[in-house]
Structure 1
Amino acid sequence: NELRDISIIATPPNNRLSIRTFVRNWQADIVREACLRELKRGGQIFYVHNEVRSINSVAKEIERIVPEARIVVAHGQMSKLQLQSVMQSFYLHKYDLLVCTTIIESGIDIPTANTIIIDKASKFGLAQLHQLRGRVGRSHHQAYAYLLVPSTEYLNSDARRRLEAIATFDQLGMGYVIATHDLEFRGAGALLGDEQSGVINEIGYSMYSEILKEAVNTIKNTQNKTTNGSATFKRRFSAEINLNISALLPESWIPNVNLRLKLYRQIASAEKDHELNRIKSEMLDRFGKLPEQVDHLFHVHTLKHLCESIGISKLTISPKYGKILFREDTAISLAGLNLLVSEYEGSAKLNRTDSSLQLSHSLSSKDDRIRAAYRILNQLTPQELEVA
């Protein structure tokens, strides 16, 4: 067998509408408004609270906020007969609001339930949020999904990215796009090993796919085997660049999400600077003048190539400081390193514990940080690796 391309089914059933999705701070007024809107049109509501120990007290709180609703509770620790009875009663519309755990995540199809409220939504993964949201909107009625959090202000970056993604991709047929984002966020894990979760951020989805493809080809190519019969692989790495700048393809510039993903893959898979320049020229010709964020994206990938060529695993240039993390097999110019340290006049510090160089500077301008990154990397690049 060989790896096959993915076929995407993006055509929704007839008369389906996209689910309007909102990320909000938890407030009693929001819960009441969402529930009353559904009740007024004769519909039903899922309220997802994924903590069994407190689910009954939450149900009482919802009963206080929406006394008009007939409320019932369902969770996985109920007996099979109890759970079956509750779900049957809810399906027959003997209750208006089901306070439940993620037990409804799959296998539930209730066309009259068209509002879902997910409590503490920041604790859920992207794919799980998408799956839960899919419990509503299963008829021709407009459906609503409310993702409630204690405070949007204090969300960590990962949770914020997940919630922004699920709220953004609320159109029909977005399952594959969301799955791709979920893969980027969580990591793909070890496909053939025991470890089934990983950090794909270390190498990126495109690089992961490329390495996997190369590995399969190497295994199939018997002449590349070593004497003990095991295939040999060339290990690579993906450098991380952080310049505190926005580097992306704006939705306003390229509205089609599938096209944006395709271009991201092309940029990520470019191994040489001339390939990046070709992609950049094609985008300029096709879409017009490149926005600042797109220019930044190409700078980031060019800097990645520089880092990878001399064994730098991470380069950070922030407004106040910089940090360069070297790999064990780094091939930097020692003369260039000494010159760089002397130029910083005491504000550069070598740390042997994590093989890093820390720098102090003042670079408030984005362009200044980009120029500084190029200057530092060019200084650390041995002459024999420099390209005219």
Structure 2
Amino acid sequence: MKSQWIDFFVGDVGYGKTEVAIRAAFKAIMDQKQVAYLVPTTVLANQQYEEFKARMEGFAVNVELLNRFRTKKEQDEVIKKLKLGEVDCVVGTHRILSKDVEFKDLGLLIIDEEHRFGVKDKEKIKGLKNSVDVLTMTATPIPRTLHMSIVGVRDMSVIYEPPHNRRPVQTYVLEYDDEIIKEAITKELERDGQVFYLFNNVEGIEKKAGFISELVPESKVAYAHGKMTGKQLEDIMMSFIKKEVNVLICTTILESGIDIPNANTIIVENADRLGLAQLYQIRGRVGRGDKQAYAYITYRRDKILTEVADKRLKAIKEFTEFGSGFRIAMRDLEIRGAGSLLRRDTTWSYGTSWL
């Protein structure tokens, strides 16, 4: 492995980027190299850690997790093993980029959901080791990175084919209405499905959960946000996976990679406050099986939308067919511009990366 960059890799939400990452990691490990898999959120880190560990089982591969949910003692142990070469693959958040983390022989760095990281973070990543290969993955490349690919600064590979039996998510962009929300949730619960409800306000999320419980009495509601402890989040997500909870109200912690095939309706409040790539990623949390999925992208009734917000909502409504992630990124480039390719202060991070 000699190249400075393996590739900039684009695959739509649910198209199998994790599978590519697992196979690339396994190849590097078989070549006696260490692998670091960098993800933007602790919730996604836990999920991908479990996935990697399960897939590597039986191959004498040591996979470890490094994020804020682990105790100081556990983190110190993982860091010690990385330096000694006793860990083959570490999955983690920006904790991997800390000064106290050293590798014996890092060969491959995988960056998941590239649009969630700022320029400084990525420069720090490149400085981990001069000979390291980097696989950068996303469904919706940020304008700066997309522009670099267009002008030939970076190579790009794209997965064009969706998994078999997938259906495009039916998307509605509309003013918020209690009756529509009630109907959407009830419709999903009647087919034994589950609902994601994005409410990106930590202070009001408990009250919102109570309101939804009253609005749809047959629902079993829980809420989750990034200020909870690791144990709290883990317990809530496990309850949702086990179908003990059928409506999960949460902040943008669900944006990156969370995969619950039985959740096929998503409701987003105040969608005009979110970025276009965020909205696309959030919608991609549903429709990951063979059931028809639905997305209700709402904004406050009678609110006058800004020109940029209006363009974003029109784009999310327009691009619903498979493979729209790349076109969403191109539209985002048109709306926001590319930024500077040379300045370090260019960043499109949304401010929620480390939830």
Q: TM-score range by the shorter chain?
A: 0.5 to 0.7
**2:226 counterpart of 1:69:** no
Partner of 2:180: 30
Q: Which amino acid aligns with 2:285?
A: R
Q: Could you tell me which residue of structure 1 aligns to residue 234 of structure 2?
A: 84
**CA distance 1:84–1:137, shift in 2 (3 Å):** same
How far apart, CA to CA, are the structure 1 residues paired with 2:235 and 2:167? 30
Q: Does 1:100 align with 2:256?
A: no
Percent identity reads 46
TM-score (norm 2): 0.54
CA change 1:141–1:86 in 2 (3 A) is: same
The residue number in structure 2 matching 1:145 is 295
State the partner residue of 2:270. 120
Which position in structure 2 is the counterpart of 1:129? 279
2:221 equivalent to 1:59: no
The equivalent of 2:45 in structure 1 is none
CA contact (8 A) 1:48 1:119 kept: yes
Q: Which amino acid in structure 2 is aligned with residue 55 of structure 1? A: I
Alignment of structure 1 residues 144-163 onto 2, 5 Å: 144-151=294-301, 154-163=304-313
Deviation, 1:9, is 2.1
Structure-2 residue corresponding to 1:299 = none
Letter matched to residue 263 of structure 2: A
Q: CA offsets, 1:196-255, max 9 Å, x none? A: 148xxxxxxxxxxxxxxxxxxxxxxxxxxxxxxxxxxxxxxxxxxxxxxxxxxxxxxxxx
How far apart, in 1, do the equivalents of 2:230 and 2:269 lie?
25
Deviation at 1:184, TM superposition (A): 1.6
| Aligned residues of 1:188 and 1:196 also touching (Cα < 8 A) | no
Give unmatched runs, 5+ long, in structure 2: 5-151, 349-355
Cα deviation, residue 106, structure 1: 1.2
Higher strand proportion (structure 1 or 2): 2
How many pairs are equivalent? 198
Is 1:189–1:195's contact at 8 Å kept on the other side of the alignment? no
Unaligned stretches of 5+ in structure 1? 199-388
Give the Cα separation in 2 of the matches to 1:185 and 1:10.
Answer: 24
- Matches for 1:150-189 after TM superposition, within 5 Å: 150-151=300-301, 154-189=304-339
- 3-state SS of paired residue (1:52): coil
- Structure 2 match to 1:273: none
Q: For residues 344-373 of structure 1, what are the alpha-carbon distances to aligned partners after superposition, in whole Å with 9 as ceiling and x for unaligned?
A: xxxxxxxxxxxxxxxxxxxxxxxxxxxxxx
Report if aligned partners of 1:187, 1:197 keep a CA contact under 8 Å in 2: no
After superposition, the C-alpha distances for 1:103-159 in whole angstroms (9 at most, x for unaligned) are 111131000000000010000000000000000000000000001111366212111
CA distance in 1, matches of 2:243, 2:212: 18
Alpha-carbon distance in structure 2 between the residues aligned to 1:175 and 1:106: 14
Q: Which amino acid counterpart does residue 78 of structure 1 have in structure 2?
A: M
Deviation digits for residues 5-55 of structure 1, max 9, x if unmatched?
A: 543322111100000110111111010010011001000000000010111
3-state SS in 2 of match to 1:162: helix
| Separation of aligned partners in 2, 1:50 and 1:124 | 9
Higher RCO (CA 8 Å, separation ≥ 6 residues)? 2
- State the SS of the aligned residue for 1:7: strand
Structure-1 separation of matches of 2:301 and 2:160: 34
CA distance in 1, matches of 2:281, 2:222: 22
Amino acid at match of 1:93: K
TM score, norm. by length of structure 1: 0.49
After TM superposition, the structure 1 = structure 2 runs for residues 153-232 of structure 1, keeping only pairs within 5 Å, are 154-197=304-347
Conserved 8 A contact 1:21-1:167:
yes
Cα shift readout 1:252-274 (whole Å, capped 9, x = no counterpart): xxxxxxxxxxxxxxxxxxxxxxx
Give, as a single letter, the amino acid of the residue that structure 2 aligns with 1:143: A
| SS of match in other structure, 2:173 | strand
Structure 2: distance between partners of 1:152 and 1:21: 21
For 2:303 and 2:210, how far apart are their aligned partners in 1?
27
